[in-house]
Amino acid sequence: MNEELCFLPATRLREAIGRRDVSPVELVQAVLHRAERLQGRLNCFITLCHDEALREARAAESALMRGEPLGLLHGIPYACKDLVDTRGVRTTLGSRLHAANVPDHDAVAVQRLRAQGAILIGKTTTSEFGAKCLTDAPLFGRTPNAWNPRHTSGGSSGGAAVAVASGLAPIGVATDGGGSTRIPAACNGVVGLKQSMGVVPHSQALDAFGNLTYVTPMSRTVADTALMLQAMAGEHPSDPWSAGVPSFDPRGAAPGGGDLHGKRVLFALAPSGRPIAGDVRACFLRAVGRLADLGAELVEMPTDGWDIEPLWRTINHTVWRARFAGLAQQHSAEMSPSLIRQLELASQYSAVDYQSANFERTRLFRRVQGLLAEHHFIAVPTLSRTAPSIDQDLFDPLEIDGRSYAEMRPNWFPWTMPFNLTGHPAITLHCGFGGDALPVGMQLIGRLRAEAELLQACALFEQASDLLDHWPDPDGTDGCRAGSPGSSSLEPPGGGRAP
């Protein structure tokens, strides 16, 4: 089985399939073989669609041989987070209570990928209902980090990030309600975009108007993210925030021979009073220096007033309580203990608290709008430290450089939650390795609905960083070929998998 195909980016696979150099059947067989071989080690799938995927691959190959017009993703396999509805394929939401749920329709994002010829190979693991920043649930256990099984994959889209990083799918569909795409993408060294509100319609949002969750692309390259966005973006009647959103044109995201001259970038390390690990600090500052080398003008951003977690928690947990409190009353023994605890904590919020939080959300939006009126991007570390232990729990203390912090959310990912609330596009890029040989992510935030400008800057950074030849190797010792720890530079700390 040709597993080298498994590490080719979707953009190259698309060209190879169009030239008939690569067969959709051969590609899907290779990806499925690798997924089935490594699933016991990586535990990143809840369901694999072996028969369905091969059937679709054979149909894609027949269409190719007949010379029919090809979609953007014709014959290209993808993985999909198990929160996102897929017609005829089990969608568990990471919950024992939905273990047998089979939707009769696709979410709009999936519908659009299917229309462009993409082939679903499986549903990836998620925390129960996507309710925490780690990927574990009573339904399937824990999903380890792609680089080292002793560490977490992050969450809640950990399965999608691990599958993509490990070559089990070139692209994946994730979701993000407070960082759930960007956290695991940073933990596993892949590209995780949370696009602007409404750019990709969210047809499963129960409160479409107050929504802060997104259905997102997950990929190994910026160009693949742009390709996915081209397939998924655009107006749809199910989502009011998608009104007027045009189809995405990836040509605006291509790096060409350009640079970042004329671009002003605000940057900051951590919100006031919040920690950041020394290796992450060093790696991030090198990455920001790389932006300057590309011609960007750097401006340090004040860090006061960015303690957003209480605001996010008031809105998000109130929504969770409305959705799941009744379920928990009847089935708490079958649900994740951390989810039950979050629902109990949400009982303290009143309707006035919820509405006051929405007033504050509006003020935050206007603040970010003001910052981005004078600057093109904001650059911050995606996470304050690399991936914690596989045994980390949401309510456990978080250790950063030998010091213990009681609250995980505001101390590990303080910079992801703000942009779920404001709706601005935010993307994490692999920018190097920490002292434990695990990936470090840099998050760039762009202007509202300016995804092309943001992705163009990211593609330039990606080109300059020279990290695309280094991927985790689950067949190696400790699940990676990351070599000896101790480096926090843009260069990987020893080898990596080169396709």
Mean pLDDT within 421-442: 98
pLDDT of residue 256: 67
What are the backbone dihedrals phi and psi of residue 175, each rounded to the nearest 5 degrees, phi first?
-140, 160
Contact present, 220 and 190 (Cβ < 8 Å): yes
Task: Please provide the size of the chain in residues.
Answer: 499
| Largest pairwise CA distance in the chain | 63
What is the spatial distance between Cα 443 and Cα 429, in angstroms, rounded to a whole number? 6
The answer to whether residue 1 scores a pLDDT higher than 80 is no
Whole-angstrom CA distances from 46 to 80, 145, 181, 214, 219 are 10, 16, 18, 21, 19
Query: What amino acid occupies position 498?
Result: A
What is the spatial distance between Cα 455 and Cα 450, in angstroms, rounded to a whole number? 9
pLDDT of residue 492: 36
The answer to whether residue 196 scores a pLDDT higher than 80 is yes
What is the spatial distance between Cα 440 and Cα 181, in angstroms, rounded to a whole number? 15
Structure-token pair, residue 146: 């792609």
Mean pLDDT within 479-486: 36
pLDDT of residue 255: 74
Contact present, 427 and 455 (Cβ < 8 Å): yes
What is the spatial distance between Cα 375 and Cα 266, in angstroms, rounded to a whole number? 7
pLDDT of residue 479: 45
What is the CB-side half-sphere exposure of residue 60 using CA atoms within 13 A?
32
pLDDT band at 254 (very low <50, low <70, confident <90, very high): confident
Structure-token pair, residue 294: 């590309």
pLDDT of residue 491: 40
Smallest CA-to-CA distance from 476 within 494, 458, 451, 459 is with 494
Contact present, 470 and 496 (Cβ < 8 Å): yes
For the chain, which domains are there? Answer: 3-479 (3.90.1300.10)
pLDDT of residue 475: 85
pLDDT band at 132 (very low <50, low <70, confident <90, very high): very high
pLDDT band at 194 (very low <50, low <70, confident <90, very high): very high
Per-residue pLDDT of 329-379, as tens digits, reads 999 999 999 999 999 999 999 999 999 999 999 999 999 999 999 999 999
pLDDT band at 41 (very low <50, low <70, confident <90, very high): very high
The answer to whether residue 396 scores a pLDDT higher than 80 is yes
What is the spatial distance between Cα 401 and Cα 365, in angstroms, rounded to a whole number? 33
Please, what is the average pLDDT of the chain? 94
Mean pLDDT within 163-189: 98
pLDDT of residue 193: 98
Q: In percent, how much of the chain has pLDDT > 70?
A: 95
